[in-house]
Amino acid sequence: MAPALPRRILLKATLLAMAAPTMTYAATGRAAAATLPAPSAWTLRPFELKDVKLGQGIFATKRQLMLDHGRGYDVNRLLQVFRANAGLSTGGAVAPGGWEGLDGEANGNLRGHYTGHFLTMLSQAYASTGDQVYVDKIRTMLGALTDARAALRQDPRILSVTGKFGTAQDNVRGSYQYVDLPAAVLGGASAVTLSAWVKPTHNANWQRVFDFGNNTTRYMYLAARNGSGVPRFAITTNGPGREQGLNGTAALPLNQWSHLAVTISGSTGTLYVNGTAVAQNTSMSLTPSALGTLANNWLGRSNFSSDPVFAGAFDEFNVWSRALTADEITSLQGNRAADSSADRGDLASYAFDETTGGTFADASGRELTATLRRTWGGPSHPGFLAAYPETQFIDLESRTSPDYTKVWAPYYTAHKILKGLLDAYLATDDDRALDLASGMCDWMYSRLSKLPDATLQRMWGIFSSGEFGGIVETIVDLYSITGAADHLALAKLFDLDKLIDACAANTDTLNGLHANQHIPIFTGYVRLYDATGETRYLTAAKNFWGMVIPHRMFGIGGTSTAEFWKARDVIAGTISDTSAESCCAYNLLKLSRMLFFHDQDPKYMDYYERGLYNQVLGSKQDKADAEKPLVTYFIGLTPGHVRDYTPKQGTTCCEGTGMESATKYQDSVYFRKADNSALYVNLYSPSTLTWSEKGVTVTQTTDYPREQGSTITIGGGSASFELKLRVPSWATSGFRVTVNGSAVSGTPAAGSYFTVSRTWSSGDTVRVTIPFRLRVEKALDDPSLQTLFYGPVNLVGRSTSTSHLQVGLYRNAALSGDLLPSLTPVSGKPLHYTLNGTEFAPFHEGTEDPTHAYVRRSEPGIAFGNTDSGVTNPARSDGTTLLDEIWAGAPFHNKGALVSRVASTVDSWVSEGLLTEADGEKVVSTAGKATYVP
């Protein structure tokens, strides 16, 4: 029997035989906008951001801060790393700090990711507001990225800047460019002078002005800065330990022209800086003739691969076959070499204003033409676009262990850029964005399709280095527009089979995995289900969601500790200063939303409300800033933690996703059925929906969550549809709906959608009442550690204490089970309360107050309605107390129902030997005498 073909090869053959997808491109909305086709597998459809306008409220206030940031930020700063990488002028722009620059963490190996986030943010800002300033910034970025890609496809070309005497060659930091000189440049001379004008722009040590050598054993170099920051010349035939050297006495100034010269004659070597001899060695035994013919003769590059490339400009470089005199060196200070007493170098002479392109003519008469090159080779392959060379991608293909100082998630960075380009295309219909995005996917397919399955599985399984974010989702989205079979085949090349198969079998293998490396890949797998019909993708995604929520979820909706997952159902045991990475919440919202399009299980939108109204809102500081988006990385949940809104200088993954979140708050307020027969109201948020297919508007007027309900008004015309109103799972009683003042029959069930079906007319008004109550949610592994919720709002204590606050709540509990009567409202501050002198406030407020997201529940005595029984509150071995079990029966219709519950519970505990009969009688008696809030 012939061996079976690998699944990937079979899939590729199938895809290549497929016609273009049934989903077609359609123009819509503003004249300059495109629409992403909705998959036929979705039973619900989202609305575009432009169709939903936010009204005044907490979302609009937070969003305005981000809109202002995006409006004012100079995008040339973001483009700096792309232009530098391509050897283009950066126009003096300074790249952001942190991860988005050459000096960031891990050598800036994630640079470019933030530019993608920013493109997405601008695109969403434009879709939401129609403000032209965002389009202008997008078009500037697309133009620059198009130019950068084109430059990367060419051999490097001289970048001319003002020189010492004319124009000079600029090596932009991050361009990895150097000048390659012919092997005969030193001419076997026994005496020599080397002279150069340089203008360094960075203070990294060991940048070479020149380095002539074969390897790290035999070489001769001049460094602009040695380990002490001063110029150094050295020559050796036996490695660093046997160098014969000359060291300067002061650092070269940055951004100023300096003249360096070295002379060797006999046993004497002299180093000159700006015409002055600063070092001399009279016992040298090596001259260039001792080195022989050398393979690597470079300006700006070191034979030591770990040394940085010279950043700055070169003007004249000359080599003479003799030692110039001090007077001749002096003459070079104010004159071109050709006009000095030294004349041009007779071994080599390059004046960088005398040539263009990527080659430099030699004026010595020896015709030793020099060539501008990149350390990583090149040109790049077609379609490649990044802010660093292809080397990270190439390295990953053979890498077996993580090292983010060498390879830091190149496909993750590619995803952010690709997503930003696709969003820019959808927002502006600018063909450059689609061309760049398609080119990136073509380039990725050309690399990855040539690799064996085993190599791909190894790559994607490497922590951090193999992280690829939500790239699969974006590739499938692009495929829905291009119809290119290679694009869908590319998406399949990111299958992490071990994880997919485990999740499809509902086998939890998440312990120890990097959380945000894996959450976003499941949105991609859902989209692969949409495109291919392979059910294992959708099954795996649903099961994966259930492994995280609630089993690894903190109360605010976040997950992970120090970016990783721990064992299932361990919550209290994972609380730390590095809990709940903000990216994780962002991606869990995306996954929940996408799963809801397939399966209208209210649990997905319950989670969406939790994560959005708490962690996502609370991750954005309530403060304006022109330079930083002010978004948290981790949400520390330890007692007294103060949120850090500018981690790692403000350009991390979480600040990127935070910019996106803050410009799409309205994306899930409303969904519609695919046949337009129903409108889902998922979130109670002040907003106006324009539902063009029905010819109506739907306006919510509310101050939710400061208001316990919402008013929905139909406008524009008449239409028949079902209005599906989400009944939150925490809304266990009192949810009511009226239409034009008349109550709607039916019993809304918590954790469901309540349907109102009718033919709607303009002016129809729906009032939704959603009574809040204060409740607690217990850590799965420690019931005494609890977090407080008032309706959808997580309330956190504000206290500098670094120990868990001790909180008792049952004494004044209402018959409804509402614990709020134990707290005192703060006048003039909605949703603020005090308890035992501590203020409790909404988590969504982006302040720098020390907070307590979890408190220690302490109910030492049994009391009802502020009447104390004098009996100690006993507990079971799992931590459940008598009062816990009594109040678990809430709501109670009246006092009698509560007393009955007390009596039955007491009887059970007495019979189990957990409470004495006498104490039990006291408890029941106290419950009967007390008065209660309804």
> What integer pLDDT is reported at residue 104 of this predicted model?
86
Please name the residue that has the structure tokens 């005398």.
Answer: 354
Q: Would you report the helix, strand and coil content of the chain in percent, each value rounded to 5? A: 30, 20, 45
> In the Cβ-directed half-sphere of 864, how many Cα atoms lie within 13 Å?
25
- DSSP class of residue 875 equals B
Q: What percent of the chain is modeled with pLDDT above 90?
A: 94
Measured distance CA(767)–CA(923) in Å, rounded: 42
Q: Given a cut of 60, is residue 133 above it in pLDDT?
A: yes
Say whether pLDDT at 414 is over 80.
Answer: yes
Q: What is the C-alpha separation between 62 and 645, in angstroms, rounded?
A: 14
Report residue 32's pLDDT band, with 50, 70 and 90 as the boundaries. low
| Res. 5: pLDDT tops 50 | no
Coil, strand or helix at 215? coil
SS3 (DSSP) at 32: coil
Residue 447 CA to chain centroid, in angstroms?
25
pLDDT exceeds 90 at position 649? no
The residues with which 796 forms a beta bridge, in sequence order, are 841
Q: Cα–Cα distance between 915 and 872 in angstroms, integer?
A: 9
And the tokens for 401? 């262990």
CATH number of 160-374: 2.60.120.200
Q: What is the mean pLDDT of the segment spanning 512-532?
A: 98
Model pLDDT for residues 850-905, shown as the tens digit of each residue? 999 999 999 999 999 989 999 999 999 988 999 999 999 999 999 999 999 999 99
- Rounded (10°) CA dihedral 257, 258, 259, 262: -140
Tell me the pLDDT of the chain averaged across its residues: 95
Residue type, 555: G
User: In 219-307, where does DSSP find H-type helix?
Assistant: 288-291
Estimate to the nearest angstrom the gap between the alpha carbon of 106 and the chain centroid: 16
316 phi, psi to nearest 5 deg: -45, 135
pLDDT category of residue 818 using cuts at 50, 70 and 90: very high
CA dist., res. 295 & res. 445, Å (int): 36
Q: What is the mean pLDDT of residues 449-454?
A: 98
What's the rounded mean pLDDT across residues 465-493? 98
**pLDDT of amino acid 879:** 87
pLDDT for residue 24:
29
For residue 647, what is the DSSP state?
G
Residue 878: its pLDDT value, please? 87
Q: Specify the amino acid at residue 593.
A: R
Task: Enumerate the domain spans of the chain.
Answer: 160-374, 670-704+709-765, 863-934
pLDDT tens across 286-343, in order?
Answer: 999 999 999 999 999 999 999 999 999 999 999 999 999 999 999 999 999 999 999 9
Q: How many other C-beta atoms are found inside a 10 Å radius of the C-beta of residue 461?
A: 15
pLDDT single digits (tens) 542-589: 999 999 999 999 999 999 999 999 999 999 999 999 999 999 999 999
